[in-house]
Amino acid sequence: MVYGDDGHINMDPDEEVRTAVADVFALFDQHGSALGVVRSFTGRRFPRRDTGVWAGRLGWGRLTHGRAISILKNPVYAGAYAFGRNNSTRKVQPDGTVTSHVTRRPREQWTVLIPEHHEGYISWSRYLQIETKLAANRTSTGARPPREGPPVCQGIIFCGSCGFPMNTNYRRTDGTADYVCTRARSDAVLTPGCHTIAAAAVDPGVVELLLAALTPEQVSLALAASDEIHHRHRRSHRAAELAVERARYEADRAERAFGQVEPENRLVARSL
The tens digit of pLDDT for each residue in 42-55 reads 888 888 887 777 77
Higher pLDDT, 233 or 62: 62
Could you give the 3-state DSSP secondary structure of residue 269? Answer: helix
Helix crossing, 65-73 with 124-136: angle to 10°?
140
What share of residues in the chain are helix, strand, coil (percent, to 5)? 45, 15, 35
What does the pLDDT read at residue 128?
A: 92
- 204 and 230: one domain? no
- 72 and 177: one domain? no
Is 147 within the bounds of a domain?
Answer: no
- 226 and 206: one domain? no
Number of domains comprising the chain: 3
What does the pLDDT read at residue 147?
A: 59
What does the pLDDT read at residue 126?
A: 93
Do residues 10 and 118 touch, judged by C-beta distance below 8 A? yes
- 229 and 207: one domain? no
- 226 and 199: one domain? no
Higher pLDDT, 35 or 2: 35
Span 216-234, mean pLDDT? 79
- 122 and 23: one domain? yes
At 262, the pLDDT band (50, 70, 90 cuts) reads low
Is 97 within the bounds of a domain?
Answer: no
Out of 163-172, 212-221, 229-238, least confident range: 229-238
Is 101 within the bounds of a domain?
Answer: no
What does the pLDDT read at residue 268?
A: 52
Among candidate residues 80, 126, 86, 113, the one with its CA nearest the CA of residue 102: 86
CA distance 180 to 188: 15
The per-residue pLDDT of the chain, averaged, comes to 80
Do residues 78 and 121 touch, judged by C-beta distance below 8 A? yes
The tens digit of pLDDT for each residue in 55-72 reads 778 888 888 888 999 999
- 239 and 186: one domain? no
| Residue 235 lies in domain | 216-271
The tens digit of pLDDT for each residue in 249-260 reads 878 887 777 666
Is 265 within the bounds of a domain?
Answer: yes
Whether the predicted pLDDT of 182 surpasses 80: no
Among candidate residues 187, 184, 186, the one with its CA nearest the CA of residue 159: 184
- 72 and 188: one domain? no
Span 4-13, mean pLDDT? 80
- 71 and 121: one domain? yes
What does the pLDDT read at residue 123?
A: 92
Is 249 within the bounds of a domain?
Answer: yes
The tens digit of pLDDT for each residue in 117-146 reads 888 899 999 999 999 888 887 765 555 555
What does the pLDDT read at residue 141?
A: 57
Whether the predicted pLDDT of 213 surpasses 60: yes
What does the pLDDT read at residue 25?
A: 92
Is 154 within the bounds of a domain?
Answer: no
- 224 and 194: one domain? no
Check: pTM over 0.85? Answer yes or no: no
- 175 and 266: one domain? no
CA angle 173, 178, 179 (to 5 degrees): 160
Is 73 within the bounds of a domain?
Answer: yes
- 195 and 236: one domain? no
Is 149 within the bounds of a domain?
Answer: no
